Amino acid sequence: MNNLVIPDYTAIVDASRPLVAGLASLVKKTAKADALSSRETIELLMSFCQDIPYGIPPNNYKNKVISGIFPPPLALNKTWGDCDTKAILFAATYLSLPGTSIALLESPGHVSIGVEGIPSPYDNAYMVVKDIEFDNDGNLWVANTYVTNKNLPVHVRNLNNQWRSYGSSETSVKISQSPISIEFDRWSRVWMTLQYTKHLSTRVNCGYQLFLFIFSSRLNLIKKNIQLS
């Protein structure tokens, strides 16, 4: 990517699954013995990975390029690693459990894990993400559907890991709180499809809106035009 050699995280996870079968078996036995729910099982494995002491792996290890990440078996052997190392260890182990799936979210110099789940009735907040895209400048765009906290359904993270959010407050045209897709044209303009709902609480679908967002190079919103409804 961009003339750089980077780890193939998907390949590392797939190749490591048989090598972490022992850890996955231990998680499975613990979950069964303690009658843990799916969510509690995720939290158990997550706690294990997060409790591994933090350290940044070298770019080279034993005359091999590892690009600053320990593969899961080596992470268990070394008993330390950075955030990416822990994320890949979690992914390989979690996928070794029956009926599981994940999403690998890659950004420049970092990888995160998305796990499918249903929010608890007692959760204070939750997120429904319909689309995640990188623009030509490497900014990460997130379509945060059904957002109700601050009514800002569009989120952007720049290369300095700084987040900005956008919503109806910046325009005289009220937009839906349910973005579902993000695209970029050859002029680097942002196009977003939003599902229009008459009643947010019941999420009754009443159609779609297509918006054109024009930003400056510093992600300041210059213009927001409605094109189709």
- Who has greater pLDDT, 205 or 114? 114
Distances (CA, A) of 141 to 43, 167, 172: 27, 14, 23
- List pLDDT tens digits, range 42-61: 989 988 998 899 898 998 89
Cβ within 8 Å of residue 44, ≥6 positions away: 27, 30, 31, 36
Least confident of 21-35, 61-75, 129-143: 129-143
**What is the per-residue pLDDT for 201?**
36
Answer whether residue 176 shows pLDDT above 70. no
- For residue 205, the surrounding DSSP H or E stretch is strand 205-215
Mean pLDDT of 119-143: 73
Annotate 115-143 with b (16+ C-beta within 10 A) or e (fewer): beeeeeeeeeeeeeebbbeebeeebbbbb
Q: Which amino acid is at 154?
A: V
**What is the per-residue pLDDT for 156?**
86
Distances (CA, A) of 160 to 44, 49, 59, 218: 31, 26, 22, 12
Task: Specify whether the CB–CB gap between 199 and 148 falls below 8 A.
Answer: no
Provide the whole-model pTM: 0.57
